[in-house]
Structure 1
């Protein structure tokens, strides 16, 4: 008897499935097609992004090599990469383009870095890098207040670029003859146990120079 009931139950399930399929097969086929097309489209998009990134990487490396011998041409190539490469290489190219500009015109290079620093789309890390790079270009010519406007916000404990920012503040104070200001930033550099050894040595040199004034 159990076998009979099992067969009846199986027949009922088969009948319900056939009814469901007759009623909804177009929907099932359409959903399956959408899934297949969607997965295929995403895979193509990923492949296309990989191809574009690889191409941009090759162009970026070629521009880096060129920068050793022809800064003007490298600058043009970095500008082209910044215009049409995937976002990561666009940002790197903008920074390198600003570096090339700064090698011939420090003020213009600082303006290029300032443009990156003012662009929230590049992300906080690259904005801070741009602020530091602009500071190094201008530290020999700009007043301390201008250097501070770019980098003082980066000097706080635990911030990733605090060491460079503190050095810039110390250099700006030294150049302006601000003994107290230079001493303040030298002490901040020396008090930080994570200060790189090379920077620590440069801070001692600043302190020595200021002690003679």
Structure 2
């Protein structure tokens, strides 16, 4: 426990409890979209690699236009473009447009839009022509949403945790996201000691992405506070 106490003291120096509680209320949604920067980097790489291909350039222009619509909160026109690109786009943009279409639908925060977004993610998961890494990413994103909506007593959480354990064991591209979601599940089922161990391991792993590491630090303190309350 000494190692844990030392780590907790370091975290407490940098973060106030009020900020942590505010963060926790938003945690589920933020975890779902934690992969945004990863996808952005993939887009940049694809643009560079295929810049001489006319079709790719035309597709990239459309994709950028859709992103601009999102920036101006014009989700309807953005969805129209993403839908078109997901059906007729070239190369990686076809897959990326499916992800973007799902993300835009989630932003609408309606039951129908959410259901459609989940179906799109399942479509990606089941499409064997899409690279395994992106199929697994779709699975991770779907799990993130389901975890955020399921109750701690729901048996579906057990099935999701088993699948996450497989992804964690494989140590693939989404290892850290899978471990983070496992920590959230453990929190939801009130396995607080296991949850804090999971987030602590993320916080102390030198290879954990910075944004995810910050979330893990925050969750470690939230859980430590809860454990202290339960011990009293």
**TM-score, with structure 2 as normaliser:** 0.62
Distance 1:149 1:122 in 2: 23
What is the rounded CA distance, in whole Å, between the counterparts of 1:67 and 1:95 in structure 2? 14
Q: 1:67 to 1:173 in 2, by over 3 A?
A: same
Greater relative contact order, per chain length (Cα 8 Å cut-off, separation 6+): 2
CA distance in 1, matches of 2:135, 2:200: 26
Partner of 1:123: 131
The partner residue of 1:52 within 52, 55, 58 is: 55
RMSD: 2.4
Residue 71 (1) aligns with residue 84 (2): no
Equivalenced residue count is: 165
How far residue 157 of structure 1 moved from its aligned partner, in angstroms, is: 6.6
1:135·1:147 contact (CA, 8 Å) conserved in 2?
yes
2:214 corresponds in structure 1 to: 201
1:62-141 equivalence runs, <5 A? 62-68=65-71, 69-104=73-108, 105-141=113-149
Runs of 5+ unmatched residues, structure 1: 1-48
Deviation per residue, 1:19-48 (Å, 9 max, x gap): xxxxxxxxxxxxxxxxxxxxxxxxxxxxxx
Does the 8 A contact of 1:131 with 1:150 survive in 2? no
- The structure 1 segments of at least 4 consecutive aligned residues displaced by more than 4 Å after TM superposition are none
The 1:61–1:198 alpha-carbon spacing in structure 2 relative to 1, beyond 3 Å, is closer
Unaligned runs of at least 5 residues, structure 2? 1-51, 228-232
Higher Cα radius of gyration? 1
